[in-house]
Each structure stands twice: as structure tokens, then as C-alpha cells.
Structure 1
């Protein structure tokens, strides 16, 4: 299951790290007054005590607080420092999808995906591979296949090549993405049309063989599926407020015994955007963060973007805007406070995180929601 929710804060001066406003790296300090000395002391304390979202999640027993990344964002001045500072796990937004990696049959283009992997390694970050089988972002030659045997081999070749290239370097793969309609029926795609629901088994079995150590996710809004070797479920959060049902949804996913993650998180706001709506958005971000923190099997949260100006929301859903934690000028919004306050309020003792072995479900294991 997936969950898609898709600026310094004006109301909380004390919560903002002063070290981000005042440089502290100068090798020479001249104390001219007690006020200067006090100011420097405050700055140094703020620098020493600041913990990123990723660090705070880890302190609570979670694996990560993540975001998307791609070849454009790793060179974007405003975004890249935020990405390096606040986040620990990254999902490639486009460059790892089928249409970009294998635009023509047998022609694999890894230049961009390799750049993302190299950037992550250089900065000590982890990668969630996204995505192997999806009804969107597939090249026309795949959609034009008309027989089962050809499509089966094409799926195997694609997964073996892509997963095999990054074997041992990727924390998890979104093996299949958005395979169900909102009513629970299978979404129309060349994969379902020719292979039926067995295409999910095919994808997971192939990915598991290509990288036995990687976590294998089904990234979906909602699901009722029994199949092989699924390690985890991702609940995407890209729906408008309110989010009051999310804690119950996460618990329902956790009842399968699988690892759970919140992916593609952005919380969009109905236009016109005003302070009241942004305050509500803050509450929703706090609710989502607390929902993951309160659930032992929830390992992390992945935002779908840094700045409102780079979000997919305004161009795709023109009645909505402002879905992320930083505004178009990379200033922190009140929504940022919602996440930060949830992390600060969480119990200081790390939660016991559930670890689920792949073998516990077996080839024909049941991963069915109650």
C-alpha cells in the first residue's frame, strides 16, 4: 500500500537553529562585549544540539527520514544542502524508472541512475530503488507486447539487469507500484492484461533472485494480496487533508507482519492558500509523523520533494498547491514545525523495531490484510 500526501517558521523563533543564520566557522573571534560573548555562546549551543530529521528518527528507533532525489536536485543550490542535512534515505524520482533506463529493448542507459547512486555513496546516504514494474513510465515498445512469453522474458531481463547492477547497494526496491484501483480491482496495464495477477509474483521472484539481501516492497494505496517473498509494504501519502484515518491504515498494514513505510509524502493545500490552511497542514504533518513513530513496524517516512516550487502538485492538480515543508524560496514553513514537534514530543526511548525475515513468509506465504 502506498501513501501519497503530497520559510523559517514565523511563530517559533526558539525552535530555529541559530547556527544556520550566523556563521560559526571563522577561525578568529574577537570578544568586544558581554553581548557578543553571549551571542556566540547561543550560536555554539544551537550548533551542538541541532539534530536533523533523519537523526531524530534514528534516535526513536526508526531507520530513516527520506526524500526524493535525481540528477537535477543534486546540483540545485537551494535543495541540495537541505537534502544532505535533513535526510538519510533517497528515492530516485525519475531516473530509475523503466522508460528512462531501458527506452528501447535491450538498450540500457545507466548514466543518470549511476550519478544518483554515486551522489548517495559520496554523501553517506542510502537508496530505495523506484520502481521496477509500473503501468506508467514504461516505453511504448513494452506496452505494445502482445504475448505472454515475450512479456515474461522482458520483465525478467529488465529486473535482472537493473537490480543486478546495484546488487548490495540498495536498501529496498519498490518492485511493483500502484497495481490496484481505488476499489481494489487490478489496474489496467500490459502486465495485468497478458499475465494476470501472476505478474506480481514474477516481479518479486525475479527481484529476490537478483538481490537476495534487498527489501522488496509493494508500493500501493491499499491492498489485499497473497504472494511470495514480499518483505514490506509502502503506504503512499498523496491525498489532501484530512489524514485522520492514517494511523488505523498503518496498523492494518502492520497486521500482515510486514515492514511498513510511508512513501511519497506530500500534503497538498486547496487554493487559495492562507494561514489557516497552512496551520491545518502543519497538524496533518504532525499526525503522519506521529503515526509512524507510534508503530514499531513503521521504519521510515519519505517526503516527495523539498520545495513547493519543485512539487508535481500545481502542474498536475491546479486547484492545489504548497504541499511540502519548504516554500518556493527554501524557507521553512509551519509544516516543518509539525514534523519537528512530532519528533520532539515522541518518547525519548527508542522504539523496538520489528525485523521481518523474508523466509518467514515463504514462497507461498500469505501477506493478506484482515
Structure 2
């Protein structure tokens, strides 16, 4: 059997959906292939994930002019001291998972509640971390009162009030804002690629300009980001094209968009569609528009991989390293943010649960449920260690 066929056979075995959930099959796989070979579109080769030293991710990233951080909930940080300590050690920026969304901040049309978000901002400041805002405009996480209150006549006033109040509350104290989140959705069939969201229905395509201009006025120091998913794999090329056109339109109208946030929720069963060459071309096109790039919601779902943790962790780590090795070649990339730090607190335990397969917990993040570093941590560390150093001042601080 030639090497190409052997690699294909190994990858088929490793990525088979449930093919090795039987314990005997897993032992056979471990014995036959002790060195996991991960093969995307281009053969990557063997991975050993060796890391030199014990330096936290935040320091490894900072040494290359990058920011590493993660999202977290208020509850996790406030209730688990060990987790909070690990978070402060590894992360240079904190992103509230939900505490800055509309439904968390606005219990009623006329009242804002910053209690939990302020606690998180103070936690970041106390531990020498940057603080990041997610998100000002989104079609989800809207409060219950929204549907019966907001309409075409008052939508602009309510949106401007929200941005002025929220951005103003943290003015000068926040690194960046996801001003508009997930506004592109080609499946809705519009020629401009925009999602048929409530904001589009009420205000038309100009709502993005309104939002970015209002945010810039409320806090001229914050980095203003357009954030979206579905931009990483080869089959997502139509979405990439639509996002490029959106950013070009915003720039042509003078809207103060300054960066693209690329959600990187990666999947093991889609790894064959990852093409470093085309992804790097997309990143270069963004950079050529004088925009910075943030990887904003990075994690790797292992829900369809075999039960054996040693196999899962190696494949997940390989995807982390391969992806980051590609995107960090682009100097415009200034930050890498995982959507969570520990497997104990990941949204994928609900959305990408392994309940139907084997009822084990998913393992998508750098630390395990006991806050121990995994191979995914090693992979991220290795990517930072090998990344080109940014030569200009690209990190905005408070």
C-alpha cells in the first residue's frame, strides 16, 4: 500500500463517525497508529506537540505582538476561584459570553443593568487584562420586550440610545467592540448578501452604518469590529465573498469599521475542506482594505470523533495548530480568542453534545474540566511560538 493510500486509510479510520466507539476497536487503533497522522487537503505529517517551557499563552502571544484571550461567563468566573486564577494566568483579554448582549443589559425598554458586566470589567482590570465588548447589534439575544416595542418608527432611536449608553458606559476602558454581529447570510437570497434580520427590516441596509458611526462617536478609542461566522472552510467561499463586499461598501461610505472578527468554530469532520491557501488569500484581501483581523471565537468540536480521549485530543490539537499556523502568517491578525478556556465551561456541551454517541463530554478547549493543559493548549502555544513577530504597534490598550 503506498503512502498516500495509507494516509487516506488512517484518516478515514480516525475521522469515522462512531466507527471506533467499541473499546476493542479503540485499543486496536491505538496499537496500530500510536502516532496520529492528521491530513487535511494538504498532507500535514506527524505531530508531537512538544512545547518548550511553561510560559502562559498570554505571554507567548504578547512576545509576537499578539493578544490571546478567551470568552467566559460571569457565573464561571465568580463561582470558581481556581478557574478564575487559570483564566487570569492564561488570558490577556476577557470577552463576556453573554453579559453585554441586549437581553442581559436591558431588562426593560427604559432600564439598563450593568451589574454583571461591570463585575467582569473590574475582574479584567484587576488582573491586568483587556476587556472586549460582544455585541452591540445582533439578530439574536434580544429581550422579550423587543418584539412588541421596536418598529420602523422607533428602531433607529432605540438602537442609537443603546449604543450611546452601552459604549459610553465603557468608553476608554474597552479594547474593542463587535459592533455588528452576523449580518451576512447569503441563504436569505438578497443580492447584497445581508441577513433578513429585524434591524434590516426596520432600518434597511443602512443600519450597519448607523451602528458603526454611533459607536465611534461614543468611544473614539475602541477598535470597531464587524464579526461573523462561516469564513474558514472552502465550501464557505460565497459567505467570504459577501463579507468582502459588505466591508467594501462600509469603507466606501466612510463607516468607521476597523477590523473583521472571524469566528472560528471548527469541526473535525469538515477538516478536509480547510484550504490554507484560499483562507490566507481571503485574509490578505481583508488586510489590503486597511482592516485588522481578530480570530474571535475559536474552538474545535470533537463530537463525531472516537471515544478514546488520546485520539480525540490529538486530532483536535492538530486542527488548532494547522489553522493557527495558517492565519498567523497574516500580519493583520492581531488577536486569537478562544470561545472559552476550559472544557468545563463550553457552549458545545449543549450544542455539540456527544450524548447520542457515547455520552462523554466534548473536549474542544485548551484546558480540560480539571483545568489541566491539554494537547490543544500545546498546539496553540506552538502556533504562537512559531508565528512571525508583528513589527508595528498593533495592540490597542486602555
For this structure pair, what is the TM-score category when the shorter chain's length is used for normalisation?
0.7 to 0.9
Q: CA deviation at 1:194?
A: 1.1
2:120 aligned residue: 116
- 1:163 partnered with 2:167: yes
- Match for residue 218 of structure 2 among 202, 210, 213: 210
2:101 aligned residue: 97
3-state SS, counterpart of residue 149 of structure 1: coil
- 1:74 partnered with 2:72: no
Give, in whole Å, the separation in 2 of the partners of 1:141 and 1:313: 28
- 1:310 partnered with 2:313: no
Structure 2 spans left out of the alignment, 5+ residues: 1-46, 230-239, 356-361
CA contact (8 A) 1:259 1:354 kept: no
Q: CA deviation at 1:151?
A: 0.5
CA contact (8 A) 1:68 1:90 kept: yes
- Match for residue 264 of structure 2 among 234, 237, 240: 237
- RMSD (Å), alpha carbons: 2.4
Give, in whole Å, the separation in 1 of the partners of 2:104 and 2:209: 24
- Match for residue 59 of structure 1 among 57, 60, 63: 63
CA contact (8 A) 2:186 2:194 kept: no
Over residues 310-339 of structure 1, what are the superposed CA-to-partner deviations in whole Å (9 max), with x where a residue is unaligned?
111121123593211112222222111111
3-state SS, counterpart of residue 144 of structure 1: helix
- 1:277 partnered with 2:312: yes
- 1:341 partnered with 2:382: yes
Change in CA separation of 1:14 and 1:324 when aligned onto 2, cut-off 3 Å: closer
1:21 aligned residue: none
3-state SS, counterpart of residue 154 of structure 2: helix
1:360 aligned residue: none
CA contact (8 A) 2:334 2:395 kept: no
Over residues 31-58 of structure 1, what are the superposed CA-to-partner deviations in whole Å (9 max), with x where a residue is unaligned?
xxxxxxxxxxxxxxxxxxx422111111
CA contact (8 A) 2:51 2:382 kept: no
CA contact (8 A) 1:257 1:356 kept: no
3-state SS, counterpart of residue 266 of structure 1: strand
Change in CA separation of 1:281 and 1:251 when aligned onto 2, cut-off 3 Å: farther
1:263 aligned residue: 296
Change in CA separation of 1:161 and 1:279 when aligned onto 2, cut-off 3 Å: same
1:250 aligned residue: 283
Give, in whole Å, the separation in 1 of the partners of 2:64 and 2:137: 33
CA contact (8 A) 2:292 2:334 kept: yes
Give, in whole Å, the separation in 1 of the partners of 2:332 and 2:343: 30
Q: CA deviation at 1:289?
A: 2.4
CA contact (8 A) 1:296 1:354 kept: no
CA contact (8 A) 2:303 2:353 kept: no
- Match for residue 156 of structure 2 among 134, 152, 157: 152
2:391 aligned residue: 352
Over residues 146-167 of structure 1, what are the superposed CA-to-partner deviations in whole Å (9 max), with x where a residue is unaligned?
5323010000001100001111
Q: CA deviation at 1:353?
A: 4.1
2:199 aligned residue: 191
Structure 1 spans left out of the alignment, 5+ residues: 1-10, 18-49, 358-370
Q: CA deviation at 1:86?
A: 1.0
CA contact (8 A) 1:90 1:128 kept: yes
CA contact (8 A) 1:244 1:287 kept: no
Give, in whole Å, the separation in 1 of the partners of 2:215 and 2:108: 21
3-state SS, counterpart of residue 171 of structure 2: coil
Over residues 98-140 of structure 1, what are the superposed CA-to-partner deviations in whole Å (9 max), with x where a residue is unaligned?
1110121011101111101111111111111110011111112
1:289 aligned residue: 324
Change in CA separation of 1:142 and 1:53 when aligned onto 2, cut-off 3 Å: same
Change in CA separation of 1:202 and 1:290 when aligned onto 2, cut-off 3 Å: same
2:5 aligned residue: none
Over residues 172-203 of structure 1, what are the superposed CA-to-partner deviations in whole Å (9 max), with x where a residue is unaligned?
11001111125473223210111111111111
Q: CA deviation at 1:341?
A: 1.7
Give, in whole Å, the separation in 1 of the partners of 2:130 and 2:394: 18
